[in-house]
A and B are shown apart, each in its own frame.
Chain A
């Protein structure tokens, strides 16, 4: 079997700082939409940090959870696409072929994780902000659905380099932008088909679970639950 890319996110390390959110914008040429469009729910964040409040003052608890495309093995977004723009790559990613997309938005409706974003307008950058654009990533035009790719451009670059050097991609060699930036090392990316990869080993943690797994989506992101302090641990 080829690579099966996956991710582990340790919620006990995540502090909700959102370095991942901005890193993703910078890496993937995600356009800002401005206040009016954002007010209408059209802001695009391929990764977001959800926060959950529990309890009333003063017994308040807050939990953070970064949510991005879960790269499901049984992805609800894929079979609904009439043009096969949403498809499953042989490395297990939920791919999106922008040139095939005709903007039915069926995939966004089908996705239970709310991680697909539609371009209601052509993206625009006030000059010279366009110079910040990453030449490795295509800019999506109006009428096209876009989503997290696990930084496919970085995966491909590493695979090409490894192939040129006649070796396999090393564990940890590929870091999507969110993983690279994360100040607490809460995110780990790796090959789930390799049982020895750091991601595979961490995914087996007893703290691990998957987001809305009961829907049968078979996500490839494992969340390690936040722990509570147990003073005896240190004894």
Chain B
């Protein structure tokens, strides 16, 4: 039989050779040594080419829209137990809005669409890291999860047992649901611990005002679909403010969804926003004068007997002088301060009264002046007077599901003031903070440089981050324990605006994890069990999904459900449709006849940092449609999507009025220097008619020093030069309260999509 043997050998050789050549051909083609990777057992039930749709929740902003994720089979390089290999698995391919979700009803904004790139980002942290160089150097070495957990445990157990001095501080972005409950409860189990939430756009001023006016510590749910008249003070409600997709849906309906009826929309703001661009009438109003305008309109409504002052109830009583008819806010008296003509104010008041339901909104820069609590309370009173508080076509509040007992006893604080206090504490006594855990927040980028957050964090004895990226804050960490992406995680969310229905979104992971990451709540639960004692009792769940299921059991007990006979059905139905939503019953905006316990607020002119002689311009940062607060600057789709108002891509700019530019001898796309009392930045100009001559505006989002290959060292960060002053009575940063000066430095460039400002770069080549 030798010939057969020989034959076999030949065939085997042939197969070997062809496998090798085939593999190297593939290697040539795609430049990756795929053939060297082992193959893991493929995921089951995948049919190549056939898409399945899985619910999830969008996490790129606080709106909490529901997602449907298109999942298809593909080969991915994944890490399992420290081993890199190839796996045939379901991969998220496209995010769509979930049509069943009450907030976004199947729709999605550009930022939500781009959320997909977080999961597949090339610069995601793929494994636990330990700092190997000086703090802030960005030098890390990969370690195992065992090692990372051991190191974190060592510090936490000595804090927990009281053997070491100092408190545990957990600094997070705004969290909700069981994710928050676990974080808060974990923190609360430590002596003297502190839980701090920080997000640049946290609507803290609007929340504080709504709590005072309407007893709802939440942003409003705006029902534009039935509104006939919208008065907005600076709120970018079609772009980034509050729940933009829900508001856009209502807006479309308001414009063209009701045959024979088309609502009117009026916007007041010193710089035309993407939302303002859609207004029927746009008025430039002086920064910080929004409350005056609201009360001017209210005065006309009362004085011309269009609405009785008493109809505003408790929300009206919060405004000093309300019952007296607000004579000091007569349109002629506030004309000069607001920059809006008296007859315009009167006309708008009459139009609004004649076209009920009319609704007033306030947000963004209008809610970021030193006097913005007054501005917002005044706007609330106007809503109440118009009869739109708690009514269809007005602002409403849903009842929000609170996960967990909320009785952790932890010192909980939120907002910019809390971060400022933490920084001051670290600066004066670094050892008072035994360990600092950071999740989702990037305060080094999103607070004024004057607060010295970076310098103070540098002094913290131990910083552990759960971040997915090395950003300006996590670069200071000693340990990084990377979280799954939201598509790879169990997810639960309890948004507090966008729908009057109670919304508790939930979804299992839409895909398997790519990297050696672990969900933050699971890491905390593991730590809690190991630390034992009060922690193990406070956090009884084995895993994060156990905790969510327990929350849904509690929800079922309280709310029941018509279409599920048992808690198990309730739980599986919720997972299938992406959550549970209550009936359409808005919570009352205020108890009837209820008196507000808050102290009446009084007008005070907005304060601006810097004297007008030396710093002649108001500096107005604004949220970027694509980059939001800067947290999305790392996504290439967001960098290359043209800004709606300018078509600018991949960079930043400052906007100024043509007459201002003319006076200063500044031309389009010149490089200018913007200086406040607290810092300087450089950026190219964008001369536009949509901005008041005494205002300089700049998008927030660029200017990252270290945040992925796409965002690092690109443009400038307007937050860095802001004055460290807060909105009176709220602890929020008054981010529109800084004055600046401007001077030309030289020629610059702005990358635009389209023809107008196109800069042909001379060395452009093609193959």
Q: Which residues on A are within 8 Å of B, measured CB to CB? A: 10, 12-13, 15-19, 21-23, 25-27, 32-43, 45, 48-51, 53, 55-58, 60-64, 120-122, 126-135, 142-143, 177, 180-186, 224, 227-231, 233-234
Q: Which residues of A contact B636 (CB under 8 A)?
A: 32, 129
- CB-nearest residue of chain B relative to A45? B753
**How far does the alpha carbon of A184 sit from the alpha carbon of B107 in the complex, in Å?**
8
**Chain B, range 77-97, C-beta contacts under 8 Å to A:** 77, 91-97
Known interface pairs A18-B642, A184-B249, A227-B262. Does A39 touch B109 (Cβ–Cβ under 8 Å)? no
- CB-nearest residue of chain A relative to B276? A62
Query: Which of B13-21, B559-567, B754-762 interfaces with chain A?
Result: B754-762
Specify which of B113, B280, B651, B764 is in contact with A40 (CB 8 Å cutoff): B764
- Counting CB contacts under 8 A, is B647 at the interface? yes
Tell me if A38 and B767 are in contact (CB < 8 A). Answer: no
User: What is the CB-to-nearest-CB distance from A71 to chain B, in angstroms, rounded to a whole number?
Assistant: 21
- CB-nearest residue of chain A relative to B49? A135
**How far does the alpha carbon of A25 sit from the alpha carbon of B114 in the complex, in Å?**
9
Specify which of A13, A45, A63, A234 is in contact with B256 (CB 8 Å cutoff): A13
Tell me if A17 and B274 are in contact (CB < 8 A). Answer: yes
Specify which of A19, A22, A41, A185 is in contact with B760 (CB 8 Å cutoff): A41
Known interface pairs A183-B109, A184-B252. Does A40 touch B642 (Cβ–Cβ under 8 Å)? no
Known interface pairs A17-B109, A22-B637. Does A36 touch B764 (Cβ–Cβ under 8 Å)? yes
15 residue pairs A–B, Cβ–Cβ below 8 Å: A17-B274, A19-B107, A22-B113, A32-B640, A35-B649, A40-B764, A45-B641, A57-B693, A60-B690, A62-B277, A63-B277, A132-B116, A183-B252, A186-B252, A231-B355
Tell me if B644 and A57 are in contact (CB < 8 A). Answer: no
**Chain B, range 616-671, C-beta contacts under 8 Å to A:** 625-626, 636-642, 644-645, 647, 649-651, 657-659
User: What is the CB-to-nearest-CB distance from B93 to chain A, in angstroms, rounded to a whole number?
Assistant: 5
Tell me if A128 and B93 are in contact (CB < 8 A). Answer: no
Q: How large is the interface on B (under 10, 10 to 19, 20 to 34, 35 or more residues)?
A: 35 or more
- CB-nearest residue of chain B relative to A132? B120
Tell me if B751 and A132 are in contact (CB < 8 A). Answer: no
**How far does the alpha carbon of A132 sit from the alpha carbon of B71 in the complex, in Å?**
10
**How far does the alpha carbon of A53 sit from the alpha carbon of B255 in the complex, in Å?**
21
Q: Which residues of A contact B252 (CB under 8 A)?
A: 10, 13, 183-186
Q: Which residues of A contact B27 (CB under 8 A)?
A: none
- Most chain B CB within 10 A, of A15, A120, A231, is at A15
Q: Which residues of A contact B626 (CB under 8 A)?
A: 18
- Counting CB contacts under 8 A, is B162 at the interface? no
- Counting CB contacts under 8 A, is B283 at the interface? yes
Tell me if B110 and A56 are in contact (CB < 8 A). Answer: no
Tell me if A234 and B355 are in contact (CB < 8 A). Answer: yes
Tell me if B93 and A129 are in contact (CB < 8 A). Answer: no
**How far does the alpha carbon of A142 sit from the alpha carbon of B767 in the complex, in Å?**
8
Tell me if B96 and A180 are in contact (CB < 8 A). Answer: yes
Tell me if A43 and B117 are in contact (CB < 8 A). Answer: no
User: What is the CB-to-nearest-CB distance from B214 to chain A, in angstroms, rounded to a whole number?
Assistant: 26
Q: Which residues of A contact B150 (CB under 8 A)?
A: none
Query: Which of B237-245, B319-327, B423-431, B600-608 interfaces with chain A?
Result: B237-245
Q: Which residues of B contact A60 (CB under 8 A)?
A: 272, 282, 689-690
Known pairs A38-B751, A50-B754, A180-B96 / 16 extra A-B pairs, C-beta < 8 Å: A15-B238, A19-B107, A19-B110, A22-B110, A38-B753, A51-B644, A127-B77, A129-B117, A131-B120, A134-B94, A142-B767, A183-B245, A184-B252, A185-B252, A231-B355, A234-B354
Interface 0/1 of B40-61, CB less than 8 Å to A: 0000000001000000000000
- CB-nearest residue of chain B relative to A184? B252
- CB-nearest residue of chain A relative to B228? A234
Q: Which residues of A contact B107 (CB under 8 A)?
A: 19, 181-183, 185
Specify which of B92, B282, B650, B651 is in contact with A61 (CB 8 Å cutoff): B282
Tell me if A181 and B96 are in contact (CB < 8 A). Answer: yes
**Chain B, range 703-739, C-beta contacts under 8 Å to A:** 709, 714
Known interface pairs A56-B689, A57-B693. Does A16 touch B277 (Cβ–Cβ under 8 Å)? yes
- Counting CB contacts under 8 A, is B514 at the interface? yes
- Most chain B CB within 10 A, of A21, A133, A230, A234, is at A234
Known interface pairs A26-B116, A43-B753, A121-B767. Does A38 touch B640 (Cβ–Cβ under 8 Å)? yes
Q: Which residues of B contact A35 (CB under 8 A)?
A: 639, 649-651, 714, 751
Q: Which residues of A contact B755 (CB under 8 A)?
A: 41
- CB-nearest residue of chain B relative to A224? B256
Tell me if B650 and A233 are in contact (CB < 8 A). Answer: no
User: What is the CB-to-nearest-CB distance from B224 to chain A, in angstroms, rounded to a whole number?
Assistant: 10
**How far does the alpha carbon of A45 sit from the alpha carbon of B651 in the complex, in Å?**
17
- Counting CB contacts under 8 A, is B6 at the interface? no
- Counting CB contacts under 8 A, is B418 at the interface? no
Known interface pairs A12-B256, A60-B689. Does A135 touch B96 (Cβ–Cβ under 8 Å)? no
**How far does the alpha carbon of A19 sit from the alpha carbon of B651 in the complex, in Å?**
20
**Chain B, range 252-292, C-beta contacts under 8 Å to A:** 252-253, 255-257, 260-262, 264, 272, 274-275, 277-278, 280, 282-284
Specify which of B121, B257, B260, B766 is in contact with A121 (CB 8 Å cutoff): B766
- CB-nearest residue of chain A relative to B753? A43
**How far does the alpha carbon of A120 sit from the alpha carbon of B761 in the complex, in Å?**
15
User: What is the CB-to-nearest-CB distance from A196 to chain B, in angstroms, rounded to a whole number?
Assistant: 18
Q: Which residues of A contact B767 (CB under 8 A)?
A: 120-122, 142-143
**Chain B, range 376-411, C-beta contacts under 8 Å to A:** none
Tell me if A231 and B691 are in contact (CB < 8 A). Answer: no
Q: Which residues of B contact A177 (CB under 8 A)?
A: 94
**How far does the alpha carbon of A41 sit from the alpha carbon of B272 in the complex, in Å?**
26
**How far does the alpha carbon of A34 sit from the alpha carbon of B95 in the complex, in Å?**
23
Q: Which residues of A contact B122 (CB under 8 A)?
A: 126-129
Specify which of B116, B649, B690 is in contact with A43 (CB 8 Å cutoff): B649
- Counting CB contacts under 8 A, is B749 at the interface? yes
Tell me if A233 and B277 are in contact (CB < 8 A). Answer: no
**How far does the alpha carbon of A21 sit from the alpha carbon of B471 in the complex, in Å?**
27
User: What is the CB-to-nearest-CB distance from B282 to chain A, in angstroms, rounded to a whole number?
Assistant: 6
User: What is the CB-to-nearest-CB distance from A156 to chain B, in angstroms, rounded to a whole number?
Assistant: 13
**How far does the alpha carbon of A50 sit from the alpha carbon of B249 in the complex, in Å?**
21
**How far does the alpha carbon of A23 sit from the alpha carbon of B114 in the complex, in Å?**
8
Q: Which residues of A contact B49 (CB under 8 A)?
A: 135
Tell me if B93 and A62 are in contact (CB < 8 A). Answer: no
Tell me if A58 and B283 are in contact (CB < 8 A). Answer: yes
- CB-nearest residue of chain A relative to B650? A35
Tell me if A184 and B117 are in contact (CB < 8 A). Answer: no
- Counting CB contacts under 8 A, is B298 at the interface? no
User: What is the CB-to-nearest-CB distance from B655 to chain A, in angstroms, rounded to a whole number?
Assistant: 12
- Counting CB contacts under 8 A, is B159 at the interface? no
User: What is the CB-to-nearest-CB distance from A205 to chain B, in angstroms, rounded to a whole number?
Assistant: 10
Tell me if A25 and B637 are in contact (CB < 8 A). Answer: yes
